Amino acid sequence: MTSIAIIATAISTLAASISAYVTYRTWRDSKSDERLIVSELQHAPVALWDHRQSVLWCTLLNKSRKKVDIRAVFAYDSKNEPIKITWSSQINDFGNPQNASGRLVVVDSEPLYIRRNDGTAFYSCTIDIHHSFSPTPYRAYFEPYSEE
């Protein structure tokens, strides 16, 4: 009777291990296609030149079948000091973000506009884009001299 219990326990352990492995592979395969691509950061094309310098934009491209949720965007200057910004997928003619809710859902592609709250020009800076595909933010760099 004891040997039957030991065999049943071994079979149960083996079945649980196989189930855990299959679950892990399914999870890994479902995560493999989650990819967010961010285009190069550039000054946004707005009506007034002075306003253009304080607004950056890029395109967010979702290469997954699932939606990607942009939860937060942070900007840092060349000294790694935070820059106060407002971000959205829409701006008006002067570069002011419209409907800035602090959340953006990307199905295929969406523009991302980032405006400095103090209205000064963006120089060399780093942008961190926090999204639902990864616990690590996507890091983009802006160098104004790289624009053509």
Radius of gyration (C-alpha) of the chain in whole angstroms: 23
Band (45; pLDDT cuts 50, 70, 90): confident
- Tell me what pLDDT residue 144 has: 78
Q: Indicate if 130 and 91 belong to the same structural domain.
A: yes
For the chain, the first-to-last Cα distance in angstroms comes to 81
Residue 99 and residue 90: Cα distance in Å, rounded? Answer: 7
Q: Indicate if 4 and 56 belong to the same structural domain.
A: no
Q: Indicate if 63 and 120 belong to the same structural domain.
A: yes
Tens digit of pLDDT for each residue in 83-123?
Answer: 999 999 998 888 888 888 788 889 889 999 999 999 888 88
Provide the number of structural domains found in the chain.
2
Q: Indicate if 101 and 61 belong to the same structural domain.
A: yes
Q: Is residue 14 a contact partner of residue 32, using CB atoms and an 8 Å limit?
A: no
Tell me which residue range forms the domain holding 13: 1-32
- Tell me what pLDDT residue 23 has: 67
Q: Indicate if 17 and 77 belong to the same structural domain.
A: no
Q: Indicate if 85 and 68 belong to the same structural domain.
A: yes
Kindly give, in sequence order, each residue whose CB lies less than 8 Å from that of residue 68, ignoring residues fewer than 6 positions away. 34, 36, 60, 62, 105, 106, 131, 132, 133
